[in-house]
Amino acid sequence: MLTVLTLLITVVTVSAQVVFPDDSAQIRHLYNEALDHGQSYENLRYLTSHIGARLSGSPQAEKAVLWAKLKMDALGLDHVYLQEVMVPHWIRGAKEKAAIVITGEPKISMDVCALGGSIATAGKLRAQVVEVRSWKELDEKDVKGKIVFFNRAMNPEELETFKAYLDANDQRSTGAVEAAKRGAIGTLVRSLTLSKDNLPHTGAMSYDDKIAKIPSAAISTNSADKLSSELKLSPNLTVELEMGCEQLPDVKSYNVIGEIRGSKYPEEIITVGAHIDSWDLAEAASDDGSGFVQTIEVMRIIKAMGIHPERTIRAILYINEENGNRGGLKYAETAKLAGENHLAVIEQDAGGFMPKGFRIEASPQVVAHMQLWQRLLQPYQLHILAFKQRGIDIVPMKNIAKALISVECEDQRFFDIHHSAADTFDKISRRELELGGASMVTLVYLIDKYGL
């Protein structure tokens, strides 16, 4: 790699205007193929309308696995196969109900949904509520026998909404364990969105086998604001919560993998992927229907343009990103066992909006090598970003692949719909979606050509 690197640096220094002339033309062709003949949008229309929500373990998830295999088969790849994965099977049951009860007043119903993985309430759970906005407050307040209401909002002043999300996510992921440790009997968690509306946003929560399991629900931001203001007037109000969700035995499912073998260095693998599964409240066009169809599009474009990569390109559609990451773990475990040589694993799980670049988690040398491509990416408004990548599926590939890479998209709209009933096809722009696929195939092309 160092020789190539040195060469590239020299070229850049000598003549900034004429670097990679062939690459410029080839990338333009890749983009034209996506913009003129892209199939991501129509595939997404099919996925969302004919299959819909596809929570791990559900019949729709299995339908999505089969459809993914069918789409890959149709591309004429060198090898398409299923990788068996046992996945959790959690079901929501009937629509959840919740209400604020204040003595002498009519009940005020709230918009709630069970967080993924939560246990049910045994009939109706009714208890007093303690609002907390920090872990410190949780320590200071008496929550024994009560429902803890985690009401720390995502920071609206943070320009990068993904960061605001990650900063507030601890309430949802570990809130139930921390509350139960202190004797609480349930949790309500403010929905992780910057929007003020009536939609509860679900997402994964977890239990600790050594700590009592308590029911855990997401509450819409409007309901959270309502509950908070009612608590100021009536600190002793109670909340009724009813959820029928259930954790069933694990079921067999699959990662779907399609491969084009490298002509020169077949043992060097470049993986590009996204996740099949989704939450159950909507057809999940954005998370991650968009990455799903863009991954297929990467392979379609390579085949349609008659490109014969030197390295092995592998497209993977992971199962179970949302509540277990069993697909990602299985892929990494298999790669490790087989002693495979992975250059890069790329994931697109950023919502299908306007692509802005790539977050590269790799050695400084690898990042510097990729930054030399910046000039080629500029016309497409893409940037090489030396930031921690954000794909859950590819985290297990750390120390296996040289670079972990996630696609970065414009994210102002993402959390308005994320994990909620609003994650629907109409929120996705055809052009933004096709440009995302084009950005991914461009990165694959460059890594294939120059290695890492």
Catalytic residues, which ones?
A: 321
Per-residue contact string for residues 292-311; x = within reach of a second copy by CB under 8 A: --------------------
The residue within the footprint of a second copy, chosen from 159, 233, 337, 338 (CB under 8 A), is 159
Task: State which residue, 69 or 413, has the beta carbon closest to a second copy.
Answer: 413
Query: In sequence order, what DSSP letters do the residues of 18-44 get, joined into one string?
Result: GSSHHHHHHHHHHHHHHHHH--HHHHH
Q: What is the amino acid identity at position 220?
A: S
Buried b (16+ CB within 10 A) or exposed e, 342-366: bbbbbbbbbbbbbbbbbbbbbeeeb
Ramachandran angles phi, psi of 354, nearest 5°: -55, 120
35 lines the binding site for a second copy (CB under 8 A): yes
Buried b (16+ CB within 10 A) or exposed e, 259-279: bbbbeeebebbbbbbbbbbbb
Ramachandran angles phi, psi of 302, nearest 5°: -60, -45
Task: State which residue, 86 or 305, has the beta carbon closest to a second copy.
Answer: 305
CA distance 350 to 295: 13
- Mark the segment that binds a second copy (CB under 8 A) among 31-39, 178-186, 198-206, 238-246: 31-39
The residue within the footprint of a second copy, chosen from 23, 228, 410, 449 (CB under 8 A), is 410
User: What is the smallest separation between the CB atom of 23 and a second copy, expressed in angstroms?
Assistant: 17
Ramachandran angles phi, psi of 400, nearest 5°: -105, -50
* Three-state secondary-structure class, residue 321: coil
Lookup result for tokens 């750390």: 398
The residue within the footprint of a second copy, chosen from 157, 209, 236, 399 (CB under 8 A), is 157
Task: State which residue, 257 or 382, has the beta carbon closest to a second copy.
Answer: 382
Task: State which residue, 280 or 432, has the beta carbon closest to a second copy.
Answer: 432
User: What is the smallest separation between the CB atom of 367 and a second copy, expressed in angstroms?
Assistant: 20
User: What is the smallest separation between the CB atom of 160 and a second copy, expressed in angstroms?
Assistant: 9
Task: State which residue, 76 or 379, has the beta carbon closest to a second copy.
Answer: 379
23 lines the binding site for a second copy (CB under 8 A): no
CA angle 416, 410, 371 (to 5 degrees): 150
Task: State which residue, 290 or 320, has the beta carbon closest to a second copy.
Answer: 290
Compute CA 378 distance to the chain's CA centroid, rounded to the nearest angstrom: 26
The residue within the footprint of a second copy, chosen from 61, 194, 282, 299 (CB under 8 A), is 194
* Element housing 97 (H / E): strand 97-101
The residue within the footprint of a second copy, chosen from 26, 43, 48, 195 (CB under 8 A), is 195
Instruction: Tell me the torsion sign for CA atoms 338, 339, 345, 349.
Output: positive
Task: State which residue, 194 or 217, has the beta carbon closest to a second copy.
Answer: 194
412 lines the binding site for a second copy (CB under 8 A): yes
163 lines the binding site for a second copy (CB under 8 A): no
* The dihedral formed by the CA atoms of 292, 293, 294 and 298, expressed in degrees to the nearest 10: 110
21 lines the binding site for a second copy (CB under 8 A): no
The residue within the footprint of a second copy, chosen from 311, 314, 413, 419 (CB under 8 A), is 413
- Provide CB contacts within 8 A for 156, sequence distance 6+: 164, 194
Q: Are 194 and 156 in contact (CB under 8 A)?
A: yes
User: What is the smallest separation between the CB atom of 157 and a second copy, expressed in angstroms?
Assistant: 5
- Mark the segment that binds a second copy (CB under 8 A) among 32-40, 136-144, 254-262, 302-310: 32-40
Task: State which residue, 27 or 180, has the beta carbon closest to a second copy.
Answer: 27
380 lines the binding site for a second copy (CB under 8 A): yes
432 lines the binding site for a second copy (CB under 8 A): yes
The residue within the footprint of a second copy, chosen from 241, 270, 299, 354 (CB under 8 A), is 354
Residue 158: exposure state from Cβ atoms within 10 A (0-12, 13-18, ≥19): middle
> Total binding residues for a second copy by CB under 8 A?
23
Instruction: Give the interface with a second copy as residue ranges (CB under 8 A).
Output: 31-32, 35-36, 156-157, 159, 161, 194-195, 354, 379-381, 410, 412-413, 416, 429-432, 435
